[in-house]
Every structure is written in C-alpha cells, then in structure tokens.
C-alpha cells in the first residue's frame, strides 16, 4: 500500500454537516447492533457467513467514523498497514487541524484511538485479500490480479471529513473458502456499500 498524506480538511465554521438527528440516531443504532455481532462467537458459522459478518462489521465501523467526524468537527478514519503476515488497521483522528497524515500519526500528533485490528481476530479465516482475478467493483476497465493490494484507496489512510465526505475507494475481503467480498466507499457522500463477487455471473452483487 502506498503511503498517504492528503486527506479531507476540516469544514469551515458554520457549514452544515449534512446529517439530521434522525439519521445519526439510526446509523448509531445500526453500528451498535453490528458491533455487538462482531463480539459474538463466529466459529460455529460457515466461512462465508463469517465473511459476510466481517464485511457488514467493517461497513458499520466506517459509518461510525463518519459520524464521529461530523460530531467532533475533525477528520477521523482508519490507517491500514501490512505487518508481513496480514493487513490490519487502527482508528485515528486529526490532532492539529490539517487532516490525517502518516508522519503525524507516527509522531503522535494525529492520535491513534485503540489497538490494531485484524479481521481474523473476530471472524476466523477472514482477511483483507484478493484471492482470484476479479473485475474492480467500481466498474473500472482493468482486472484486479490475485494477490495484489486489497486496500484500494490511493493511500494507506481512509479519512472522513466533518462535512460527511470521505476518501473514495474499496476494501477487498476474502473468506477461508475463497469467497470474495468488497466494501465500497463513495467519496462525495461517504456512503458505504458491501458486495460479493458471484463467480457464476462474473458480477458483483450487493450484500
């Protein structure tokens, strides 16, 4: 994953966040429910079911980061890394008003909020990966090769701005039985969607 530094900046004073109280309450409720599922015992479930749960958990976590950015008026998000064995992430926040930057995260200026997360810790066998050649979920012309970077953000940071916008990109997940999933982030709106690749039709379908 390439190093990243450019992220959305803080909103100007007086600009509307674009979220109503009802929307915030609804998304917070969904986030809490899905987050609770992440703590349950997923071992008895099938590999595919665990992957579906992981994709939905990740989508809910991203929506929570968006809400946090709107609520606090500062950029919030995730910083991804590969420790050589698996891709993981930490939650981070802008500490000085200039967006999220890799050097400032490393220096403690942009604080890390919580421990490093690996999907497999809560969802056995699920990991960030592209396991077979697949078309990009955004409809791009090129195929994504198996084994290439599953974090398709243009940098290692996925950021949400106080205006509700976000880094645009896709996170690719795979189950232990090689089912392929994607969590898509739409930059202008910050909307998050989950998909599974249907090998029979060679198409991505919403999950």
Please state the rounded mean pLDDT for residues 1-12.
49
Alpha helices (H) in the chain, listed in sequence order:
21-38, 47-72, 102-106, 119-122
Which of 8-22, 42-56, 177-191 shows the lowest mean pLDDT across its residues?
8-22
pLDDT of residue 31: 64
Q: Which residue has the higher pLDDT, 17 or 53?
A: 53
**CA distances for 27 relative to 99, 105, 134, angstroms:** 24, 27, 31
Token couple for 195? 């998909």
Determine contact, residues 83/92, Cβ cutoff 8 Å.
no
Token couple for 122? 């809560």
- Determine what percent of the chain is predicted with pLDDT higher than 70: 78
Determine contact, residues 196/205, Cβ cutoff 8 Å.
yes
Average pLDDT for the chain: 86
Taking the C-alpha atoms of residue 164 and residue 112, their distance in angstroms, rounded to an integer, is 21
Q: Assign residue 99 a region: left if phi > 0, alpha if psi is -120 to 50, beta otherwise?
A: left
pLDDT of residue 139: 80
- Whether the pLDDT of residue 18 is over 50: the answer is yes
Please state the rounded mean pLDDT for residues 101-111.
97
- What's phi and psi for 153, nearest 5 deg? -120, -10
Taking the C-alpha atoms of residue 196 and residue 207, their distance in angstroms, rounded to an integer, is 6
Write out pLDDT tens, residues 55-79: 999 999 999 999 999 999 999 999 9
- Picking from 177, 178, 171, the residue whose alpha carbon sits closest to that of residue 87 is 171
- Picking from 132, 103, 86, 87, the residue whose alpha carbon sits closest to that of residue 7 is 103
CATH number, domain 21-206, options 3.20.10.10, 3.40.50.720, 1.10.150.120, 3.55.40.10? 3.55.40.10
Write out pLDDT tens, residues 73-105: 999 999 999 998 899 999 999 999 999 999 999
The count of residues in the chain is 207
- Determine what percent of the chain is predicted with pLDDT higher than 90: 73
Residue 93: strand, helix, or coil: strand
Domain spans, the chain: 21-206
pLDDT of residue 140: 72
- Whether the pLDDT of residue 20 is over 90: the answer is no
- Whether the pLDDT of residue 172 is over 80: the answer is yes
pTM for this one?
0.78
pLDDT of residue 11: 45
Which of 18-22, 41-45, 156-160 shows the lowest mean pLDDT across its residues?
41-45
Write out pLDDT tens, residues 129-168: 999 999 999 887 789 999 999 999 999 999 999 999 999 9
């Amino acid at each position: 994953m390439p190093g990243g530094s450019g992220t959305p900046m803080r909103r100007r004073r007086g600009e509307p966040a674009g979220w109503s109280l009802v929307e915030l309450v609804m998304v917070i409720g969904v986030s809490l429910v899905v987050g609770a599922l992440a703590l349950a015992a997923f071992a008895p479930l099938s590999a595919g079911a665990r992957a579906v749960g992981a994709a939905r958990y990740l989508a809910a976590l991203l929506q929570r980061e968006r809400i946090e950015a709107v609520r606090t008026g500062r950029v919030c998000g995730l910083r991804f890394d590969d420790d050589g064995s698996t891709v993981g992430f930490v939650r981070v926040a802008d500490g000085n008003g200039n967006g999220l930057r890799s050097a400032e995260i490393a220096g403690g200026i942009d604080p890390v909020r919580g421990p490093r997360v690996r999907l497999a810790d809560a969802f056995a066998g699920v990991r960030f990966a592209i396991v077979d050649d697949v078309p990009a979920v955004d409809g791009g012309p090129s195929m994504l090769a198996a084994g290439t970077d599953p974090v398709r953000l243009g940098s290692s940071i996925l950021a949400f701005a106080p205006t509700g916008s976000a880094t645009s990109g896709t996170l690719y997940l795979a189950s232990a039985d090689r089912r392929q999933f994607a969590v898509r982030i739409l930059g202008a709106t910050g909307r998050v969607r989950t998909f599974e690749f249907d090998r029979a039709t060679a198409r991505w379908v919403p999950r």
